[in-house]
């Protein structure tokens, strides 16, 4: 055996080694993403901590993609242009909630050997499982809608391609995912991290050009009471939370952490949980920087120059270079948008596969699954574009993020319920303090969603 690999772990550990208390139906066929399950080897136990940590790096960055997809751009741009730096505190709060929830998702997958969809199917009544599955599918369609719009807009800005044609071209990403998956999961992770680096680099340059006032920027990270009293600001704030804390990411993360060939023992699982938590936390701090950068650039370029009405991505692209005095600023903006849209399609494909296989045990070809969800997302784009033009597409993008926010409780509550249950998690159950904090986060999400629903109906 090479010095960089460990023996392939047992996929069905004995009950003395695993805290698994879910129904053990399905056997090996119940593995999450079976084609890549435990496919990434780890260094031997005497390897340095740095090498072992690097072996776990990847899933967190794939999850972080959902926290900086084109849907975030719409809400962050509108928040920065209309309200300056005030909603930076909402971005920070939503990111902290995301760090906690993604850590719980990773813990569930590693400790039980089940992703969140499988756990729901094996725990809840079939009727409840179907409701949860439908909610997840709606969330994926809403996320897919944002990806379609973002990719189509980026192609239009960079190459003059009509929106409808750009939306049709975005369907081809199904084959990109298939190609990367066939080469190995590490290639998929490397592709994701490469595009994330492009996005971060583009916004680092724009942040430097925007030169926001430090005092106002820091003040924006302090929560302001007017966020709750101003209905327009609250609507955008809840949209930011919906765009940042992605419900399907919880299903995704609980699955892809199982791609590592860690020992399916108590010690092996503890190490895997520790490194997976560090991986997702660091990656989500990158997402915090990018989301905050979008809002900061919008606030510095638009809010302070009398362009508070900028809410469309196209308007931001057109105005950035002249206002910032940097000719390449608009191009960097569009390149980052295209990278974000492309990245999101990869994780959306995987999440759709995990959810369908986990809830329904229904396996269909990846390309067929992708074309189905992408087709459902293209239809609203086509209708809105034909009826209202490009301006209507921007409103549709913001609406998609509100829909995502409304789906959050259907993923968050089952997750917190499972990781808080000692019968299911064994010694990997979360502590009482984390349990209280997790339920407080869930309660906050529920309150904000009910508030949004009430305001919308009123």
Q: What are phi and psi of 231, to 5 degrees?
A: -65, -40
The C-alpha angle with vertex 169 and arms to 166 and 171, in degrees rounded to 5, equals: 125
CB-neighbour burial class of residue 6 (10 A; exposed 0-12, middle 13-18, buried 19+): middle
- Joined together, the tokens standing for residue 408 give 């959050």
Alpha-carbon span 250 to 100, nearest angstrom:
11
- Contact present, 147 and 337 (Cβ < 8 Å): no
So what's the pLDDT on residue 106?
Answer: 97
DSSP at 212: -
DSSP at 98: H
Q: Is the dihedral of CA 382, 387, 393, 398 positive or negative?
A: negative
Mind listing the pLDDT tens digit of every residue in the chain (458 residues)?
Answer: 334 444 444 444 434 444 545 544 444 457 888 888 999 999 987 888 899 999 999 999 999 988 887 777 878 888 999 999 999 999 999 999 999 999 999 999 999 999 999 999 999 999 999 999 988 888 877 777 777 778 888 998 999 888 878 877 877 776 777 777 778 889 989 999 999 999 999 999 999 998 999 999 999 999 998 988 888 888 888 878 766 677 888 999 999 999 999 999 999 999 999 999 999 999 999 999 998 999 999 999 998 888 888 767 788 888 899 998 888 999 999 999 999 888 887 787 788 888 888 998 877 776 676 667 666 667 777 777 777 666 667 677 667 767 777 777 889 999 999 999 999 999 999 999 999 999 999 888 878 777 766 766 66
Reduced to 3 states (helix: H, G, I; strand: E, B; else coil), residue 260 is: strand
So what's the pLDDT on residue 146?
Answer: 74
Alpha-carbon span 419 to 125, nearest angstrom:
19
Closest CA to 330 of 313, 341, 318: 318
The C-alpha angle with vertex 395 and arms to 392 and 401, in degrees rounded to 5, equals: 145
Alpha-carbon span 30 to 50, nearest angstrom:
32
Distances from the Cα of 192 to the Cαs of 128, 342, 344, in angstroms? 34, 9, 9
Instruction: Name the packing angle between helices 116-123 and 126-159 (round to 10°).
Output: 160
- Joined together, the tokens standing for residue 274 give 């520790």
- Joined together, the tokens standing for residue 63 give 């999850």
DSSP string, 141-171: HHHHHHHHHHHHHHHHHHH---HHHHHHHGG
Q: 60-457 sits in which CATH class?
A: mainly alpha
Closest CA to 105 of 293, 277, 268: 277
Using left for φ > 0, alpha for ψ between -120 and 50, and beta otherwise, residue 411 falls in alpha
Residues forming a β-bridge with 40: 260
- Contact present, 314 and 157 (Cβ < 8 Å): yes
């Amino acid at each position: 055996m090479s010095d960089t690999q460990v023996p392939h772990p047992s996929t069905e550990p004995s009950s003395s080694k695993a805290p698994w208390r879910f129904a053990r139906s399905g056997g090996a066929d119940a593995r999450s993403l079976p084609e890549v399950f435990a496919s990434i080897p780890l260094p031997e136990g005497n390897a340095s901590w740095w090498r072992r940590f690097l072996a776990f790096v990847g899933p967190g960055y794939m999850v972080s993609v959902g926290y900086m997809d084109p849907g975030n751009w719409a809400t962050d741009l509108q928040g920065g242009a209309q309200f300056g730096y005030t909603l930076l505190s909402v971005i920070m709060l939503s990111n902290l909630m995301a760090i906690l929830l993604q850590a719980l998702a990773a813990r569930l997958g590693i400790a039980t050997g089940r992703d969140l969809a499988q756990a729901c199917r094996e725990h809840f009544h079939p009727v409840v499982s179907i409701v949860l599955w439908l909610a997840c599918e709606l969330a994926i369609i809403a996320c897919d809608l944002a990806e379609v719009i973002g990719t189509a807009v980026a192609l239009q800005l960079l190459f003059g391609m009509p929106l409808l044609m750009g939306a049709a071209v975005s369907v081809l990403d199904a084959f990109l995912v298939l190609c990367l998956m066939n080469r190995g999961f590490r290639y998929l992770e490397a592709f994701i991290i490469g595009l994330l680096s492009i996005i971060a680099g583009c916004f680092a340059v724009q942040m430097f050009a925007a030169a926001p006032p430090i005092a106002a920027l820091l003040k924006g990270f302090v929560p302001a009471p007017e966020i709750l009293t101003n209905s327009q600001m609250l609507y955008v704030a809840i949209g930011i939370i919906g765009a940042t804390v992605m419900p399907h990411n919880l299903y995704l993360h609980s699955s892809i952490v199982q791609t590592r060939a860690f020992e399916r023992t108590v010690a092996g699982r503890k190490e895997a949980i520790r490194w997976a938590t560090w991986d997702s936390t660091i990656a989500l701090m990158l997402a915090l920087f990018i989301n905050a950068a979008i809002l900061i650039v919008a606030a510095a370029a638009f809010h302070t120059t009398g362009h508070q009405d900028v809410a469309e991505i196209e308007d931001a692209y057109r105005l950035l270079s002249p206002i910032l005095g940097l000719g390449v600023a608009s191009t960097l903006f569009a390149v980052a948008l295209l990278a974000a849209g492309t990245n999101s399609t990869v994780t959306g494909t995987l999440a759709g596969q995990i959810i369908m296989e986990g809830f329904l045990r229904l396996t269909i070809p990846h390309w067929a699954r992708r074309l189905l969800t992408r087709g459902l997302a293209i239809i609203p784009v086509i209708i809105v574009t034909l009826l209202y033009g490009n301006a209507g597409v921007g409103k549709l993008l913001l609406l998609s993020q509100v829909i995502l926010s409304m789906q959050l409780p259907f993923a968050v509550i089952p997750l917190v319920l499972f990781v808080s249950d000692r019968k299911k998690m064994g010694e990997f159950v979360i502590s009482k303090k984390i349990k209280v904090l997790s339920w407080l986060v869930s309660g906050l999400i529920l309150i904000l969603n009910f508030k949004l629903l009430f305001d919308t109906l009123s």
